[in-house]
Structure 1
Amino acid sequence: MAQMHLTPLSEVVDEVWGKTGTKERDAMEKQLKEEVNAYYLGEVIRKVRKAQNLTQEQLGERIGVQRAQISRLEKGSSTITLPTLSRVFQALGIATATLDLGVAGKVALW
């Protein structure tokens, strides 16, 4: 019987993305973090919208965009500006939001 060779995941990641600390690896990790954050933000928008029994079209009408834009935001496949984020959450009845900047403090967004 042939012996199976298993490669540790860390070696595969290093091979595909580059070694930790390299320019390529840092860029890939930054992109991945941005995509994960966009996904989580989209999930929050979807959860709150559904809790209010709103369709994507209804939410889009409230903020002046097409249903497709709401769909992209909820999927995390579209970048969102702070003004758009503000309009979405205010349309969902979320009256205030704060951005935590760590040691620099907190900033009220709206």
Structure 2
Amino acid sequence: MKTHTLEEVQDKLIGKVGTPDRDRFEYELQMDLIGQAIKQTRQERHLTQEELGKLIGVQKAQISRIENNASNVTIDTLMRVFNALQAKVKLQIELPHFKINLG
């Protein structure tokens, strides 16, 4: 019986790195991880979704959406969430003749 690496299985089922399907999968996975980190940290800080929402000026429903799928949220909202949770955020944008660090 032949064994396969995780990378081989992902390439076969999702697509090779750099393909649209793989890029979409990687993006959705990252957004899920961000949502889980927000939820876990909020709970560790003993905050409800409603309380976190009030801290950043959004409804409880938006906090729920962010925690369950952070893919359709603005950078501004994410920054406010992380600031309210006292998290350090670093965002770096690099273009050929331009580089900026946010956070």
Question: Taking structure 1 as the reference length, what is the TM-score of the superposition?
Answer: 0.67
- 2:97 is the alignment partner of 1:97: no
Aligned partner of 1:60: which letter?
G
Unaligned runs of 5+ in 1: 1-8
Superposition pairs of residues 14-93 of structure 1, within 5 angstroms: 20=16, 26-76=19-69, 78-93=71-86
* Distance change in 2, residues 1:68/1:55 (3 Å): same
Q: How far has the Cα of 1:77 moved from its partner?
A: 5.2
Q: How far has the Cα of 1:99 moved from its partner?
A: 2.5
Question: Taking structure 2 as the reference length, what is the TM-score of the superposition?
Answer: 0.71
Aligned length: 94
* 8 Å CA contact retained: 1:39, 1:75: yes
* Distance change in 2, residues 1:108/1:47 (3 Å): farther
The separation in 1 between residues aligned to 2:43 and 2:16, in whole angstroms, is: 40
Alignment RMSD: 3.1
Identity, in percent, stands at 35
* Distance change in 2, residues 1:74/1:67 (3 Å): same
* Distance change in 2, residues 1:87/1:20 (3 Å): closer
The separation in 2 between residues aligned to 1:30 and 1:64, in whole angstroms, is: 32
* 8 Å CA contact retained: 2:16, 2:22: no
Structure (1/2) with the larger strand percentage: 2
